Amino acid sequence: MATDNLQTKSFAHHYEQLELHDRANWELARANYRRLVHLWHPDRFAQRPRERAHAQQQFINLTKSYNVLRNFYRKNKRLPFETASATINGESESSMNNTFDEQGLDNTPPPEVDAGILARDPADREKKISPKSMQKLGWLMAGGAIIFGTILLFLVIDKRANQATAQQGREVVKEAPNSEFLPSASELRRAQTRGAFVKPTR
């Protein structure tokens, strides 16, 4: 009796790991496993080492739980908490026909934990660049060079235009007659020297 309770708790843990309810069938278990493995695949966290370690552990736990439930299903033609009547009535019959042959062997390829995925470090991974990506990179660099050259050309033209306009303005000012409203150069000099000796009042 104690062994049955222990097994029930163990299966409950595997159900919880794969997010299954008590009446879940084999099809749902497989679907949940695929979804969760995709969600927790370590390669999705390649740039974040701490999260990658957690995802790697989740990936291993999911695969262990799936293998335990799969082994139970192979022996009993149902999941641990799935009722035998549901299996007989055909709830799981379609999944049995799809995944088992006449001898009761599972036709689906078993999910394996790829040791290479879990062991390799993203920094050590060789990145092979395909010719298409090299071609795209070349086009991007050429486009960037054209844009940069165009901006530089506009800046040079604008600077020259501003210099020409400033030179024209200086020539116009030189040729313009003195205005009676503007102070002469000597008046300006006198005003500046007077301000040097006068203390500002507070």
Q: For residue range 72-99, list pLDDT tens digits in order.
A: 889 988 888 877 545 444 444 444 444 4
Note the pLDDT of residue 195.
Answer: 58
Contact 19, 29 (CB under 8 A): no
How do residues 127-148 score in pLDDT, each as one tens digit? 556 788 888 899 999 999 999 9
**Residue 189 in tokens:** 């000099």
DSSP state of 42: G
Flag whether pLDDT at 157 surpasses 50: yes
Cα separation, 23 vs 14, whole angstroms: 14
**Residue 172 in tokens:** 């116009």
DSSP string, the chain: -HHHHHHHHHHHHHHHHTT--TT--HHHHHHHHHHHHHHT-GGGGTT-HHHHHHHHHHHHHHHHHHHHHHHHHHHHSS-TTS-HHHHHHTTTHHHHHHHB-TTS-B-SPPP---HHHHH--TTT---PPPHHHHHHHHHHHHHHHHHHHHHHHHHHHHHHHHHHHHHHHHHHHHHSPPPSSSPPHHHHHHHHHHHHHSPPP-
Note the pLDDT of residue 6.
Answer: 54
Exposed e or buried b per residue across 158-183, where buried means at least 16 C-beta atoms within 10 angstroms of its C-beta = eeeeeeeeeeeeeeeeeeeeeeeeee
pLDDT band at 1 (very low <50, low <70, confident <90, very high): very low
pTM value > 0.85: no
